[in-house]
Amino acid sequence: MVSIMVGSVNKVALILLATFAIIIPCLEAGIAELDDYLKAQEAEAEKIALKSYVPSPMDVTDELNYHVHLALTNATLKRRELRQRRTGNEACEASNPIDTCWRCDPNWANDRFKLASCGKGFGRRAVGGLGGPIYVVTDESDDDVENPRPGTLRFGVTQQGPLWIIFERSMIITLKQELLIASDKTIDGRGANVQIKDGAGLTLQFVNNVIIHGIRIKNIIPKEGGMIRDSSNHVGFRTRSDGDAISIFGSTNIWIDHVSLSNCADGLIDIIQASTAITISNCHMTKHNDVMLFGANDMYDKDKIMQITVVFNHFGQGLIQRMPRCRWGFVHVLNNDYTHWMMYAIGGSSGPTILSQGNRFIAPNNDAAKEITHRVNAEPEVWKNWQWQSEMDLFMNGATFVPSGAPIDLAYNKGLIMKPRDGSHVSRLTRHAGALDCFVGRPC
């Protein structure tokens, strides 16, 4: 009897060790050791995250819905005006409030910083490299990750202070190791076809205030790690990277806009470790299994401060699941076009709040995959209390959304607050999702 008990204890110990072996690398996100520099970065990141948290998230969601109404109304009025004048010119097709802020200006290249005023949702405060110099990437190589050459993308993203990064020409960048991006940076791919492919992906770790705009990321693979520069005054040892296109770890005030993502070894966008104040907008995602992960651990309740906006995106061909898969936080899923999934579209565990508004969901022909929502590792008695709500979504081909929890207080009687635009408007709002083909001197 004693030997049986000892054997059971040993089995439990082995299970616990295996569990920690799985969890710890995930939580450390490639950090081999938290040295004094990274400890200071982590402490500062936690302070910024708590400061950026919005106690009344509905104030942010309502404001975004109001701006969607304005953008659609103004776009319609402009088209009517041009038709009445019979000018022969077509109105600018920008119809969502992010794009109307800058895209119809033929001189956008002379005022790239204007983009910094166009963010919406929880990541609206991200201004990236606003106020700093423009840095031009002239060299697509990535030969030295510890001491990158001036002119490379890696050199630019690791500089101190605000920097607005643009590209001299179209280029394919194959990253030798993960690209660690410092705070106060904008990666602006407008005016060039910039592809990051066939190498490592982008990592934002313990940073604040980053914009990633107008690039294409695909075929990202794991890399072995090593000594990698993450700022102009620090090089740290990294373990093996997972193969995410974009990994956001303990970071705040992040805006990802007009990025095309596909076919990576792990996730397209992973947001973990108490990251918050983030918007993912106007992106086009294809050919991938685990699309977006918000929160990596059911035990890590610091992710309760996570607040993320997912808006105007197109979830396209070849996607399987996690659009997104959420834990703990508050996620606003607004006016996205879900044209493809194979298992489910929106899932989660650990009681996240998910507000789905004005999306279009086109279910697959598989009768076993019509349900949009998927609760992970929880019985109905548990998930029935999770606040998952659908409002004015458009369900097609038998798609179903299973709501749960107490109704989210939408409070439409507050001044100018309006209901969201319903899912029938999604095709207009997401028509130009993904990286744009922008030409200097012409509306983008």
d(CA 405, CA 386): 5
Q: Which two tokens stand for residue 274?
A: 């108490």
The rounded distance, in Å, linking the Cα atoms of 444 and 102 is 9
CA–CA distance from 368 to each of 137, 164, 326, 371, 400 (Å)? 48, 47, 22, 8, 11
DSSP annotation of 151 reads T
Of 337, 333, 402, 324, the residue nearest 370 (C-alpha): 402
Burial 44-62, CB ≥16 within 10 A → b, else e: ebbebbeebbeeebbebbb
Q: Which residues pair with 180 in a beta bridge?
A: 203
Non-local CB neighbours of 114 within 8 Å, separated by 6+ positions? 101, 102, 105, 108
Alpha-carbon gap, residue 40 to 25, rounded angstroms: 20
Q: Is 115 helix (H, G, I), strand (E, B) or coil?
A: helix
Contact between 68 and 429 under an 8 Å Cβ cutoff? The reply is yes
Across 363-395, b (16+ Cβ under 10 Å) vs e yields: bbeeeebbbbbbbeebeeeebeebbbbbbbbbb
d(CA 227, CA 225) in angstroms, rounded, equals 7
Amino acid identity, residue 440?
V
Give SS3 for 373: strand
Q: Among the options 124, 216, 322, 325, which is catalytic?
A: 322
Give the C-alpha separation, 290 to 282, whole Å. 19
Cis, bond preceding 324 (omega within 30 deg of 0): yes
Active site residue 322: yes
Residues near 437 by beta carbon (within 8 Å), at least 6 away in sequence = 193
Burial class (CB in 10 A: 0-12, 13-18, 19+), 77: exposed
Active site residue ranges: 322
